[in-house]
């Protein structure tokens, strides 16, 4: 029993971090209606600044650095760290969040995800990719609690964070600005007419949120060390707590954070016991909270409160695609030509672009058409990939059958993830799916019992005795494999166009536009969601199998939550509602051809994540229809101009543009 | 003629480039009650939104307290004392009555609060109640009380009678009249209840299809029922404004 109490206290340290991050999430949500996926990353920046100040007295800024003669005192360093985060919060508020306040939920999710990716990339560039040790603000020590000697540091941290959360609560409860923030979250126009500037209130909330979150991470990172991934992703459990607290109750945030932290700590103790099954040791601390949150939401979930805003903007328009043989053939011919003209790394980049196009297409189906925000697409791809490794090595399943089978497995997983979408929508669904993705990543992909560290080899594919494997001898990227990928992609795209232009596509669009209206004309909304998630997971699964074949063996790195977010980013950048957007996403996606060129020619691979993050923020703010949509809009505008002047020659359709095919 | 606190000249405004009101002239002076009347969709709410700058004017000018109204910055206008009580009443169901009263003033002013609550005694006993639990009439009283607490010089009320029992409307409209007289507030009412509104107004403007089809003093309008009815239902011969 003593050990359990000790672990519970240790877990409170983690709980204290959750309190900081989730309190910030609540503040920002109430003030802006935006769920800030970048909360962890923003707080992490301040913690890094603090840690670096204590290591060598250097104040690292996003660009440039200031070197102090001596290392500052720990409290001064902490203050500077918090101050840097607060400045970051202000900048983020004005440059990133304020412009998308009335944008569609998808744009808001994408913008905060993009900010998170940008900050993570920036941390890697400015502070390096390795874990660093962080000085502790709270001295280590022990106290005796119920006759058991436990660490006092976690208890002090918890007390500090509870006090800060109480301050935030008091701000929202008793100050005029705080009450106005709550008022504006309910009725923004009403608050403006009463003389409040919601933007100003949101700025204040952002400052408070950054400060509280950063203090949490500052304290927590002394226990765990800092690396670019851990605190960025710590926002996921914090988001789960946010859902449990129904986006508003600070009291529930504190309680749920502490329970979750303690619980995860105890689970980590339990899995080390001999009676705990070996296959379930990895990632259980992520899976169980996810399941618990799901159950809470499912059984007790009343409609989660949403925010009253001035106006809402719809998702980008969808142009129902149709098959146009000439542009389609031109596109395929162009792809074949490019593949024939390139070799090795570059051909591999092009091939990978085609595969990424499929992953992006899976986002087009589930998000662009069905209107559901899923951040779990790479988990579907990964599930198919790992299944492929099993069925090709253990069962010798032949090539085309194997990827169909594995994609069906992914589709099944997708249908399961569709279940929460029955009850949960918009950004909240994004939270649930990212939590699911993280749980799958930790529990399945990183689980040595399921995916041995020695590797997950995948047998080379062959078709009618013809070897279509990716490499043979010194040829690292064979044409046969690239063509196979292309054929699979063409078949998937043809199937997509058929479905999207038919009843299924219209059913999805109806659900996207208005679920109640869709139900009233006889569409079974739940069935539509299950089919949509299933289809999109199937396409993602296809891509996952091709990724598997392209590597010859599978590693979890191909399918992390971050990779998923990056592909969502480029899918949105390209245009989330069209096939043309998916093509652009494939071209600019991570490990795709542009990435390869950046890496090989300019040696700027490190900057890829930073550049794509910033480009994504800019796209989501300036141009919510994405590159493909914007190109189409400009073509339409040009055509309109040309038609308006009959004296001019008839317009020549621009065949070069990819979006024309869809 | 009292000092004009709120005036619009040649105001045209609308949505997505399509005008919903055209070429509207309107003015309200201190202590005066003016009613904006008209059937559904005639542009009454649009007029109010344009008057506070929530909708940008496509043509014409809006002047409040002698200064042009800024576009999409109604909070600045509200701080200067130009208040609109919108059709959703602009209140917050999750907040208590006390919190509303707290929001309404920069610095707490017990005397002013007591004076306002005197006008709406029903609210005095409900201070700690969540506004979502109030009746429609109580909510409307609260909306007006919060507007009054800020010491407005111009008060616009959109469809005060919406969803209220006729008896309550009969009590509240005269209260507004008294307010205008006692505190010298310029009041602009948007109403569906034509007779009740005219009974407490000095002047009125009837809108139809986005144009002022009839304007005049309340007595003049009440005297000619036929004229009023045809303006309301859109007869062409009343396209020209008369009286005033």
Inform me whether the pLDDT recorded for A312 exceeds 60.
no
Q: 3-class secondary structure for A542-591? A: HHHHHHHHHHCEECHHHHCHHHHHHHHHHHHHHCCCCHHHHHHHHHHCCC
Contact check, Cβ <8 Å, B88/A180: no
CA distance B165 to chain A (A): 24
- Lowest mean pLDDT of A223-227, A300-304, A482-486, B38-42, name the range: A300-304
Q: Residues A118, A120, A124, A126: is their CA dihedral positive or negative?
A: positive
**CATH 3.40.50.300 domain range(s) in chain B:** 1-80+153-244
pLDDT of residue A310: 44
- CB-based contact B83 A182, cutoff 8 Å: no
Task: Report pLDDT digits (tens) over A18-43.
Answer: 999 999 999 999 998 888 999 999 99
Residue A85 has pLDDT above 90, yes or no: yes
Q: According to the model, what pLDDT value does residue A216 have? A: 94
Q: Given this structure, which CATH class describes domain A2-300?
A: mainly alpha
What angle do the packed helices A176-186 and A198-224 form, to 10 degrees?
Answer: 100
A-chain CB neighbours of B54 within 8 Å are: 189, 192
3-state class (DSSP) for residue B7: strand
Residues of B in contact with A196 (CB under 8 A): 75, 103
pLDDT, chain A, mean: 84
Whole-number pLDDT of residue A649: 46
Is there a contact between B94 and B130 (Cβ–Cβ < 8 Å)? yes
Taking residues A179-184, what's their average pLDDT?
92
CA–CA dist A62, A122 (Å, integer): 7
ipTM: 0.90
Cβ separation of B85 and A193 shorter than 8 Å?
yes
> In chain A, what are the domain boundaries?
2-300, 325-630, 631-661
Which of B52, B95, B106 is closest, CB to CB, to A193?
B52
List chain A residues with CB under 8 Å of B86. Answer: 189-190, 193
Residue A305 has pLDDT above 70, yes or no: no
Determine if residue A523 is left, alpha or beta; phi over 0 gives left, psi from -120 to 50 gives alpha, anything else beta. beta
Work out the average pLDDT over A353-382.
90
Topology alike, domains A2-300 and A325-630: yes
| Whether A186 and B92 lie within 8 Å, measured CB to CB | yes
Q: In the structure encoding, which two tokens stand for residue B143, read together?
A: 């909306």
When scoring B99, B144, B145 by the number of chain A Cβ atoms within 10 A, the one with the most, hence best to mutate, is B99
Residue B190's pLDDT is what?
93
- pLDDT on residue A130: 86
Element (H, E) at A467: strand A466-467
Fold of B1-80+153-244: Rossmann fold (3.40.50)
Query: B160 with B110: CB under 8 angstroms?
Result: no
- Yes or no, beta carbons of A195 and B52 under 8 Å apart: no
Residue B152, chain A, CB below 8 Å: the answer is: no
The answer to whether B167 faces chain A, any CB pair under 8 Å, is no
How many angstroms separate the CA of residue A106 from the nearest CA in chain B?
23
Mark out chain A residues that contact chain B at CB-CB < 8 A.
176, 179-180, 182-183, 186-187, 189-197
- The single-letter DSSP state of residue A94 is I
Mutate to test the interface with A, among B16, B69, B72, B75 (most CBs of A within 10 A): B75
- Phi then psi for residue B7, to 5 deg, are -150, 150
Between A402 and B188, name the one with better pLDDT. Answer: B188
Q: First vs last Cα of chain A: how many Å apart?
A: 64
Class for domain A325-630, per CATH? mainly alpha
Q: Higher pLDDT residue, A299 or A304?
A: A299
B65 close to A (CB below 8 A): no
Residues A482-497 have pLDDT tens digits of 888 888 888 999 999 9
- B37 and A CB contact within 8 Å: no
With 90 as the cut, is the pLDDT of residue A562 above it?
Answer: no
Alpha-carbon dihedral angle through residues A195, A198, A204, A205, given to the nearest 10 degrees: 130
Q: CA-CA distance, A625 to A110, in Å (whole number)?
A: 13
In 3D space, the residue among B137, B205, B147 whose CA is nearest the CA of residue B173 turns out to be: B137
Residue A448 has pLDDT above 70, yes or no: yes
Cross-chain CB nearest to A189 (options B90, B94, B106): B90
C-alpha closest to that of A26 among A248, A336, A291, A297: A248
User: Is A287 in a helix, a strand, or coil?
Assistant: helix
Q: Between chain A and chain B, how many beta carbons pairs sit less than 8 Å apart?
A: 63
Which chain B residues are closer than 8 Å to A197 by Cβ? 75
Q: Give residue A322's pLDDT.
A: 78
For residue A218, give every residue at least 6 positions away whose Cβ sits within 8 Å of its Cβ, in sequence order, or none. A46, A47, A50, A78, A81, A82, A134, A137
| Interacting residues of B120 by C-beta distance below 8 A, sequence separation 6+ | B141, B142, B144, B145, B175
With 70 as the cut, is the pLDDT of residue A215 above it? yes
Under an 8 A CB cutoff, do A179 and B103 touch?
Answer: yes
Q: Do B78 and A183 touch (CB under 8 A)?
A: no
What is the model's pLDDT at position A160?
Answer: 95
Interchain CB distance below 8 Å, B102 and A183: no
3-state secondary structure of B27: strand
Q: How far apart are CA B202 and CA B204, in angstroms?
A: 7
Instruction: Choose the closest CB to A193 out of B78, B93, B94.
Output: B78
Residue-level pLDDT at A571: 86
Instruction: Give me the pLDDT at residue A303, please.
Output: 57
Residues with Cβ within 8 Å of residue A305, at least 6 apart in sequence: A246, A247, A248
**Cβ atoms of residues B69 and B62 within 8 Å:** yes
Per mean pLDDT, which range of A120-134, A173-187, A298-312, B163-177 is the poorest? A298-312
Q: In which element (H, E) is residue B211 found?
A: strand B211-217
Query: pLDDT by residue (tens digit) across A627-656?
Result: 767 777 777 777 887 776 554 444 444 443
Kindly tell me the burial class for residue B107, based on how many C-beta atoms sit within 10 Å of its own C-beta (0-12, 13-18, 19 or more). exposed
Give, to the nearest 10 degrees, the angle between helix A605-622 and helix A561-574.
Answer: 50
- Across the interface, whether the CB atoms of A192 and B79 are under 8 A apart is answered no
Q: Which of B162, B160, B165, B94 is nearest to B132 (CA)?
A: B94
Type and span of the H or E element at B61? strand B59-64
B130 shares contact with chain A (CB less than 8 Å)? no
A181: closest chain B residue by CA: B103
Q: Is the pLDDT of residue A594 over 90?
A: no
Q: pLDDT value at position A306?
A: 56
Contacts of B104 in chain A (CB under 8 A): 194
What is chain B's length?
Answer: 244
Nearest chain B residue to A194 by CA distance is B78
Residue A614 — pLDDT band, cuts 50, 70, 90?
confident
* Residue B102 touches chain A, beta carbons under 8 Å: yes
Give kind and range of the element (H or E) at residue A507.
helix A503-513
**In chain B, what residues touch A190 (CB-CB under 8 Å)?**
86, 88-92
Question: If you write DSSP's letter for every residue of A170-233 in order, what string do you get?
Answer: HHHHHSHHHHHHHHHHH-HHHHHHTT--HHHHHHHHHHHHHHHHHHHHHHHHHHH-B-TTHHHH
pLDDT, residue A311, reads 44
Q: What is the mean pLDDT of residues A164-171?
A: 96
What does DSSP assign to residue A446? Answer: T
Share of chain A above pLDDT 90, in %: 27
Q: Mean pLDDT lowest for which of A281-295, A407-421, A501-515, B132-146?
A: A281-295
Q: What are the distances in angstroms from CA B191 to CA A310, B25, B160, B173, B216?
A: 24, 18, 7, 10, 16
Regions of chain B where pLDDT drops below 70:
1-2, 234-244
Model pLDDT, residue A653: 43
Residue A464 has pLDDT above 90, yes or no: no
If you search the block for the tokens 């202000």, which residue do you land on? Answer: A90
Nearest CA in chain A to B78: A195
SS3 per-residue string spanning A216-236: HHHHHHHHHCECCCHHHHCHH
What is the per-residue pLDDT for A20?
95
| Contact predicate A577/A364, CB 8 Å | yes
> Which of A357, A334, A332, A331 lies closest to A547, judged by CA?
A357
Question: CB contact, 8 Å: B207 with chain A?
Answer: no
Residues of A in contact with B88 (CB under 8 A): 187, 189-190
């Amino acid at each position: 029993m003593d050990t359990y109490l000790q672990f519970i206290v240790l877990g409170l340290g983690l709980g204290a971090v959750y309190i900081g991050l989730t309190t910030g999430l609540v503040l920002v949500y109430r003030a802006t209606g935006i769920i800030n996926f970048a909360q962890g990353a923003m707080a992490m920046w301040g913690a890094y600044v603090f840690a670096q100040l204590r290591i060598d007295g250097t104040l690292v800024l996003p660009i440039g650095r200031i070197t102090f003669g001596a290392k500052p005192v720990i409290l001064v360093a902490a203050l500077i760290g918090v101050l840097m985060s607060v400045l970051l919060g202000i900048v983020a508020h004005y440059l990133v969040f304020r412009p998308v306040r009335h944008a569609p939920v998808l744009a808001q999710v994408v913008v905060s995800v993009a900010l998170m990716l940008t900050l993570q990339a920036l941390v890697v560039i400015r502070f390096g990719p390795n874990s660093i040790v962080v000085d502790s603000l709270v001295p280590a020590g022990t106290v005796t609690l119920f006759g058991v000697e436990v660490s006092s540091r976690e208890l002090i941290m918890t007390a500090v964070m509870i006090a800060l959360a109480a301050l935030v609560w008091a701000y929202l409860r008793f100050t005029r600005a705080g009450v106005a923030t709550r008022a504006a979250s309910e009725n923004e126009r009403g608050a403006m007419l009463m003389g409040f500037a919601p933007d100003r209130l949101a700025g204040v909330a952002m400052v408070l949120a950054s400060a509280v979150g950063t203090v949490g991470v500052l304290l927590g990172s002394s226990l765990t060390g800092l690396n670019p991934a851990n605190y960025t992703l710590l926002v996921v459990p914090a988001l789960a707590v946010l859902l449990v607290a129904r986006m508003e109750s600070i009291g529930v945030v504190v309680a749920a954070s502490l329970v979750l932290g303690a619980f995860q700590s105890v689970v980590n103790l339990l899995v080390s016991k001999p009676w705990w099954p070996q296959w379930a040791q990895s990632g259980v601390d992520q899976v169980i909270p996810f399941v618990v949150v799901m159950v809470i939401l499912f059984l007790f979930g009343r409609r989660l409160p949403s925010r009253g805003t001035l106006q809402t903007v719809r998702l980008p328009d969808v142009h129902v695609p149709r098959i146009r043989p000439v542009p389609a053939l031109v596109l395929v011919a162009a792809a074949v030509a490019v593949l024939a003209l390139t070799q090795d790394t570059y051909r591999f980049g092009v091939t990978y672009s085609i595969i990424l196009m499929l992953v992006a297409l899976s986002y087009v189906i589930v998000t662009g058409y069905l209107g559901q925000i899923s951040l779990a697409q790479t988990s579907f791809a990964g599930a198919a990939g790992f299944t492929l490794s099993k069925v090709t090595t253990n069962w010798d399943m032949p090539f085309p059958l194997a990827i169909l089978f594995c994609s069906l497995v992914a589709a099944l997983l997708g249908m399961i993830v569709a279940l929460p979408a029955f009850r949960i929508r918009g950004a909240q669904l994004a939270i649930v799916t990212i939590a699911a993705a993280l749980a799958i990543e930790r529990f399945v992909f990183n689980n040595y019992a399921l995916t041995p560290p020695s590797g997950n080899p995948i047998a080379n594919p062959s078709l009618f005795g013809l070897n279509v494997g990716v490499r043979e001898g010194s040829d690292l990227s064979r044409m046969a494999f690239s063509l196979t990928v292309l054929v699979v992609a063409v078949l998937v795209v043809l199937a997509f166009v058929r479905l999207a232009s038919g009843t299924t596509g219209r059913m999805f669009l109806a659900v996207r536009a208005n679920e109640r209206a869709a139900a009233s004309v006889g569409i079974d909304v739940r069935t539509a969601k299950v089919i949509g998630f299933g289809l999109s997971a199937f396409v993602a699964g296809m891509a996952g199998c091709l990724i598997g074949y392209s590597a010859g063996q599978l590693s979890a790195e191909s399918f992390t939550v971050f990779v998923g977010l990056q592909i969502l980013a480029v899918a949105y950048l390209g245009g989330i509602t069209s096939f043309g957007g998916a093509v652009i996403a494939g071209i600019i996606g991570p490990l795709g051809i542009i990435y390869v060129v950046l890496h090989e020619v300019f040696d700027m691979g490190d900057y890829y994540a930073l550049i794509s993050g910033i480009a994504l923020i800019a796209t989501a703010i300036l141009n919510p229809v994405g590159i493909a949509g914007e190109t189409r809009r400009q073509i339409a505008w040009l055509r309109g101009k040309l038609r308006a002047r009959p004296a001019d020659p008839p317009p020549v359709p621009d065949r070069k543009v990819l979006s024309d095919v869809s | 003629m009292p000092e004009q606190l709120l005036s619009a000249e040649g105001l045209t405004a609308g949505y997505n480039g399509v005008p919903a009101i055209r070429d509207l002239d309107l003015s309200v002076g201190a202590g005066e009650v003016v009613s904006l009347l008209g059937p559904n969709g005639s542009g009454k709410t649009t007029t109010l939104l344009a008057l506070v700058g929530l909708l940008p004017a496509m043509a014409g000018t809006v002047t409040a307290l002698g200064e042009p109204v800024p576009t999409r910055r109604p909070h600045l206008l509200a701080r200067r004392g130009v208040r609109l009580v919108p059709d959703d009443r602009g209140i917050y169901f999750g907040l208590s009555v006390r919190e509303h009263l707290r929001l309404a003033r920069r610095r707490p002013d017990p005397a002013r609060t007591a004076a306002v609550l005197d006008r709406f005694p029903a609210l005095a006993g409900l201070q700690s109640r969540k506004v979502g639990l109030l009746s429609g009439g109580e909510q409307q009283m609260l909306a007006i009380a919060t507007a009054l607490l800020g010491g407005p010089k111009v008060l616009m009320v959109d469809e005060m009678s919406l969803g209220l029992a006729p008896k309550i409307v009969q009590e509240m409209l005269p209260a507004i009249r008294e307010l205008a007289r006692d505190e010298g507030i310029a009041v602009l009412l948007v109403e569906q209840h034509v007779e009740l509104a005219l009974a407490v107004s000095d002047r009125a403007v009837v809108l139809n299809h986005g144009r002022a089809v009839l304007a005049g003093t309340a007595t003049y309008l009440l005297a000619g029922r036929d004229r009023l009815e045809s303006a309301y239902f859109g007869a062409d011969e009343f396209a020209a404004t008369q009286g005033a």
